[in-house]
Amino acid sequence: MLMKEVATTFSLTLGFYFTIFISFWRCQMGLGILGKKLGMTQIFHGDGSIVPVTVIQAGPCYVVQKKTAEKEGYTSVQLGFEEIKKTNRVNKPLTGHFKKANTPPVSFLKEFRVNAEEADANEVGSQISVEMFEIGEFVDVTGTSKGKGFAGVMKRHGFAGAPASHGAHEYFRHGGSIGQNMTPGRTMKGKKMPGHMGNSRVTIQSLKVVEVRSDNNILMIEGAIPGPNNGYVIINKAVKKSK
């Protein structure tokens, strides 16, 4: 019993430090690109195999702002994606922000932690294109998942539901007991219950780049990515896999 508790504590501690390491690595992983999910399709290889791909309009992104360790305490580059056509709807603070960078107003801004060399290589007002990616490399794609509203335990957590026979009624999709009476006398934190589902930040890791079309800023990635069509996404170099 004691060994089991020690093993559990060790695994939790190892998982905690691994999460911290991945977070630090992601902060230092370098510049990515912003894009918009256009939809899914399929392409055919020369051997006749079919590959499902997600089509992303990746860039061009404007470098809107740079932050330095001397002034802000860390080094980063802020990118902007998708020009705003009706500029009269942009508020005055953002209008001044874009005017200072000498870039058109954009609807999606995101900051990337980079090293000093990468920050110096990208001047404010310049553009980042999809050409930064190559066919065959792996990327991590972050987006906002589709919102499902308030969902029950069967849809949200995959519960099997109650037996539909032996006199059961009005309890088919319930979650069952949520705790004990005397000990501990409360519902434990993290209990799987009904609630808001979806509309959360999701990252899919190690997706393979199948095709890069620099002439029209199209990036095709094998597999599915989070979010609806026309949803904004963030594309980074893969943390766990390169090629």
What ranges do the domains of the chain cover? 33-59+130-164+192-243, 60-128
pLDDT number for residue 1 = 43
Amino acid letter for position 130: V
Distance (Å, rounded) from C-alpha 27 to C-alpha 81?
20
What is the rounded radius of gyration, in angstroms, for the C-alpha atoms of the chain?
Answer: 23
Q: CA-to-CA distance for 123 and 102, rounded, in angstroms?
A: 11
Spatial CA neighbour of 28 closest among 36, 40, 20, 39: 20
Q: Where are the beta strands (DSSP E) in 71-200?
A: 76-83, 106-113, 127-128, 138-144, 149-151, 195-197
Residues of the chain with pLDDT under 70: 1-29
H-run or E-run covering 61: strand 61-67
pLDDT value at residue 29? 60
User: So what's the architecture of 60-128 in CATH?
Assistant: 2-Layer Sandwich (3.30)
> Between β-strands 201-213 and 138-144, what pairing exists: parallel, antiparallel or unpaired?
antiparallel
The CATH code belonging to domain 33-59+130-164+192-243 is 2.40.30.10
The 10 Å Cβ neighbour count of residue 104 is 15
Res 209: pLDDT:
94
- pLDDT at residue number 16: 55
